[in-house]
Amino acid sequence: MSSNPVAETVAALLPRAKAELAELVAFKSVADFAQFPKSESEGAANWVADALRAEDFTDVAVLDTPDGTQSVYGYLPGPAGAKTVLLYAHYDVQPPLDEAAWTTPPFELTERDGRWYGRGAADCKGGVIMHLLALRALKANGGVPVNVKVIAEGSEEMGTGGLERYAEQHPELLAADVIVIGDAGNFRVGLPTVTTTLRGMTMVRIQIDTLRGNLHSGQFGGAAPDALAALIRVLDSLRAEDGSTTVDGLAPETRWEGLEYDEEQFRTDAKVLDGVGLIGDGSVADRIWARPAVTVLGIDCPPVVGATPSVQAAARALVSLRVPPGVDAAEAGKLLQAHLEAHTPWGARVRTETVGQGQPFRADTTSPAYRAMADAMAVAYPDETMQFAGQGGSIPLCNTLAGLYPQAEFLLIGLSEPEAQIHAANESVSPQELERLSVAEALFLQNYAAG
């Protein structure tokens, strides 16, 4: 990184940042209180609130949101007449899953091979630390030139929407000129990336019934309609021969304009087994960022162990459909339901219901904030140019905030590059990425204020 006072300050602050991230990672802040005590999440929330108070934030509050979790808010006033920037991250984390699959304990930050391992290190406790680092660097170099609001969500990973509902009920609280969502990531380590699109999602449950009860497969099989076979046929109708998603009425042919995703790199990132082909057509970026993608999330049917020779009377599945910007998730959900019902064979009884939904998102990349961030990233990442990437996942809060504040600009950055293995065992963060992105965020705030 080129010599710059802000960069030098961030580098000097990195050991403190590591110690703080270790404290924050130690909280088992999974927002599923059937799995982990609520006190763990409350402890993490209080940690964030204390950190904001220590940085002279006013109006620091631990907000009780409608889903029973807490989000942490703070306001740092800037110079008179300054613009307002909202910095977002979340302190809740995914469950550790199989703790035996972790090389080191999931809730102990551990340095290994130049990375820091622990649940939430990248997604998204590292994002909280990134915001703190950027603000401290500015305070040490002339002050923070904008009004800053920080919001740290407590249930993002559970998707229960507590902060979304709270924001709708208190629409003035998070109003800002620019919203920096610190929950995305670089395309790869060392390549500065802003995420400009998010796919939306709809989830549909399908139930198929054919008989009043299971039947002996020897006595009745061959003529009795099998509900599981019917379900398999319906689910298969959602894909073309090459694996492309085919939902009746849903246009699949959209193109990604931006950073391309090398196919071999994708195979490595996705851990595809040797000899197994990728599915779909078009470029990898088209497939994962710009087109609909169906996934069967689960099937209720007899497990192999303990199965009996029976024709199944009933079967059900949960199906997810990711949709790109430009497609309304509610409309896509209706098309998915209609497709499932239309393709159910043999007159079997079929019921479908939508069980979850979030709209896609597209940022305006021509806005002044993007120029300010591009200039900041050029300093933080010498010899690299800021790239635009999509993200196949959803952040429903983006849409809520875009609806509340239609004039606001949105920037999605963060620490979740492919090596971070977020949501999996052995999640980690690159300290170099934490350092460079903290520098970029600090310089962005300076550039944006000056612009």
**316 vs 128, 216, 308, 312, 351, CA distance in Å?**
40, 20, 18, 11, 9
Q: What is the longest distance spanned by two Cα atoms in the chain?
A: 84
**Residues with Cβ within 8 Å of residue 298, at least 6 apart in sequence:** 317, 318
**H helix runs in 270-422, sequence order:** 284-285, 329-342, 368-380, 396-404
Query: CB count, 10 Å around CB of 244?
Result: 19
**325 vs 142, 246, 255, 332, CA distance in Å?**
40, 18, 11, 12
Q: Is 35 in contact with 58 (CB distance < 8 Å)?
A: no
**Residues with Cβ within 8 Å of residue 423, at least 6 apart in sequence:** 94, 123
d(CA 42, CA 65): 13
At 12, which helix (H) or strand (E)?
helix 5-25
Burial readout 377-388 (b: 16 or more C-beta within 10 A, e: otherwise): bbbbbeeeebbb
Beta partners for 390? 197
Kindly calculate the radius of gyration of the chain based on its CA atoms and give it in whole angstroms: 24
Beta partners for 437? none
Distance separating the N- and C-terminal Cα atoms of the chain: 24
Residue type, 241: E
d(CA 326, CA 360): 8
At 432, which helix (H) or strand (E)?
helix 431-450
Catalytic residues: 92, 156
Burial readout 123-135 (b: 16 or more C-beta within 10 A, e: otherwise): bbbbbbbbbbbbb
What order do you get walking across the sheet with 349-358 strand by strand? 293-300, 314-323, 200-209, 349-358
Q: Is 130 in contact with 441 (CB distance < 8 Å)?
A: yes
